[in-house]
Chain A
Amino acid sequence: MAKYLLKRLLQSVVTILLIVSVVFLLMRLMPTDYYFSEDELMKLTEDQKQSRLEAEGLLDPPLVQLGNFLVRLSRFDLGTSRRIQTNKPVVDVIGSRFGVSMRIGLTALGIALVIGVVLGVLQARFKGHAIDHVGTGYTVFINAVPTLVSYSLVLIFGARVLGLPSLYSVRKVQQSSILPIACLTLTSIAGYMLWTRRYMVDELNKDYIRLAKLKGLNDRQVMFRHVLKNAFVPLAQYLPYSVLMTVGGSLLVEKFFSVPGMGPLLTDAISRYDTNVVQGCVLLYATLGVVGVLLGDLLMVLVDPRISLSGKGEVR
């Protein structure tokens, strides 16, 4: 057990480092001018720039720079932001944004998970009835139509009919968070509904359900004692990943409502070539992703007695 955990953890760390290194090297392909803020670029002379770069080791061969970067990383030193918030440590820049994203993401996730799973269960329970058809219509719409369109619809309804603010504002945090949260919730509900229903229906068609009915259990007992937990198992594996990714913030929602969260930070950082911030963001996302997968596998072990921790296929 411990051995397996250790192995998986090590694998995860290696994956994260690999991803970060690749991105780091990619960023070294850029012209060196981007290592300066816009102000500095105008003030400093060529010589001054050169000496600054040399002093910071930015003219070393890329692999040497990578080595230095990894050493600093081991001390959780990600450097400072150069352009987004000049000279502020990257950890702080990300930290403040991450808080905003997490608040919105977690709220939306909590609501969506509860409503989505409940609706999915109801759909499976009343398969073929009106509730199932309405639910299926909803999931088809959300899954098929581009999120941008659904967000626009939510925005029109929210802003026009309910009079909610159409953009995020730091002064009216709660009120202006409603629409972004609603967008995230409404779209992820569809996902949870779809999968819950599908897994429930899969389980309902299995032989052991027939035996449970033959025992004389009624539909409700079969549902609660046998189907629910079994349908949750395949869901369990993806759950941590999707939770962590939601927490990481939705690029599109945040951009759409101008929420100062993680999503826009990443695109801004890349488009303004703020290398240290880019690396910080990538590190964060890679960690969330890898940890999500790891937690999913561990959760499976907890809920499914058939899986032991002695190693299994890595592909999900």
Chain B
Amino acid sequence: MSKQNKIKSVQELEQPVVDLSIDYNTVDQEPKKERPRGREYPQSRSRMPEKQLFEFAEYKASDAERTGYSNYSYWKSVWQNFLRNKPAVIMSVVFILLFIFTFVSPLISKYTVESIRIDYDRMFTSPNSEFWFGTDNMGRDYWCQVWFATRTSILLAVLVAVGEIILGTVIGLLWGYVRKLDRFFTELYNFVNNVPTIIYMTLIALMVGKSFLIMALAMIFFNWLATARNVRNLVLMYRDREYNLASRCLGTSVGSILARNILPYLISVIILRLALAIPGTIAYETTLTYLGLMDVSRPSLGILLRNARSFFLDYPYLLVFPAGIVSIITITFYLVGNAFSDACDPRNHV
């Protein structure tokens, strides 16, 4: 077989391959040690004469080790991806301002929830300079009620959401990892889940009490199931991955495996569920309030919406203010949750 060398284009040979017009003297001025075979190196090479170009380069294994190195960081990518989701970012800012305002508003408003009183002469006053959001059916200032209720609802939602996520995660981890507990939790899950929870909630409200605390606990108690099941299914997915087998092989305890090998993988899901649990809880609270299963002594958005039901066809502002605020809050968390879960998906990472 003939092995003649034929250059594809003769021109390539005749043209100087590199720009040789650089002062060669500078080459030697660079101390040899500080010449890594990385990106900077070619520049120094570009000053080489052609003859040297076709000499063997020095080979370093540690340079080869650095090829293909990536400086990817999971959480940094998550954060960058999240920031690219403009609606979610804008809504988060709006929500934060709104939440801060619930604390500021009592300082600037003319009435406070503690000081308002029933005055039928002023009922259904449309919003004006005295009553910024008008008055309700009993002539009370609506502005201070709305902001107080917003704060109450957010706090309740956060309390319940955090509670159910913690409980759900802990139970889900055990449910998924400890094979012996699987049967028990599965049966419990089916038992509770086969009947609309509203039945249980009604029973509790009427037989135990409707106070803020009791209902918050009841919500936590019935809402953890969904999180737990979700976590459990994920744990099943990760439980027999090779890195967990490796840990078992090294004698790592179940607790450490759950905390260090499995939980970190669930964080994105947990945050998503937390973000979605907040609008969920707010919606649930309005429903329960509307059905008369919540204590009404402390204004919440649910209570305002419920009171508005009989009058808003004639006085729409009674609906507009609480409904608008509740929509902003719930949509924010919904968008943020979804944006975050998208951002967590490694397939969306670069």
- Chain A interfacial positions (CB closer than 8 Å to B): 15, 18-19, 23, 26, 29-30, 140-141, 143-149, 152-153, 155-156, 159-160, 166, 245, 248, 251-252, 255-256, 266-267, 270-271, 273, 281-282, 285-286, 289-290, 293, 313-315
Contact = CB atoms under 8 A, between A and B. Distances in A.
- In order of increasing CB-CB distance, the 9 nearest A-B pairs are A144-B334, A146-B283, A289-B194, A144-B330, A146-B286, A148-B286, A144-B331, A149-B323, A145-B327
A145 B330 contact: yes
A224 B308 CA distance: 48
B312 interface: yes
A140 B316 CA distance: 24
Contact of B189 (A146, A290, A315): A315
Interface in B281-338: 282-283, 286-287, 290-293, 302, 305-306, 308-309, 312-313, 316, 319, 323, 326-327, 330-331, 333-335, 338
Given A148-B302, A152-B308, A271-B292, 20 more contacts: A15-B194, A19-B195, A140-B338, A141-B331, A143-B334, A145-B283, A146-B283, A148-B286, A148-B290, A148-B306, A149-B326, A156-B313, A251-B196, A255-B290, A267-B292, A273-B206, A282-B195, A285-B196, A313-B186, A315-B189
A146 B291 CA distance: 14
B316 A156 contact: yes
A305 to B, nearest CB: 23
Given A146-B283, A156-B313, A166-B313, A140 B195 contact: no
Contacts of A15: 190-191, 194
B198 interface: yes
A252 B290 contact: yes
Nearest to B308: A152
Contact of B191 (A18, A29, A156, A282): A18
Interface residues of B, number: 44
A148 to B, nearest CB: 5
A282 B290 contact: no
Nearest to B205: A270
- Interface of B, secondary structure class, is helix
B199 interface: yes
26 contacts: A15-B194, A26-B203, A26-B207, A140-B334, A140-B335, A141-B331, A144-B327, A144-B335, A146-B283, A146-B286, A146-B287, A148-B305, A149-B326, A152-B323, A251-B287, A255-B290, A266-B202, A267-B291, A270-B206, A282-B195, A285-B199, A286-B194, A289-B195, A293-B190, A315-B189, A315-B233
Given A149-B327, A152-B312, A23 B194 contact: no
- Interface of A, secondary structure class, is helix
A148 B290 CA distance: 8
Contacts of B282: 146
Interface in B184-220: 186, 189-191, 193-196, 198-199, 202-203, 206-207
B229 interface: yes
B195 A251 contact: no
Contacts of A153: 323
B163 interface: no
A140 B333 CA distance: 11
- Counting chain A CB atoms within 10 Å of each CB, the highest count among B229, B290, B326 belongs to B290
Contact of A270 (B193, B203, B338): B203
A24 B219 CA distance: 22
B102 to A, nearest CB: 18
Given A140-B331, A271-B292, A314-B190, A149 B305 contact: yes
Nearest to B327: A145
B279 interface: yes
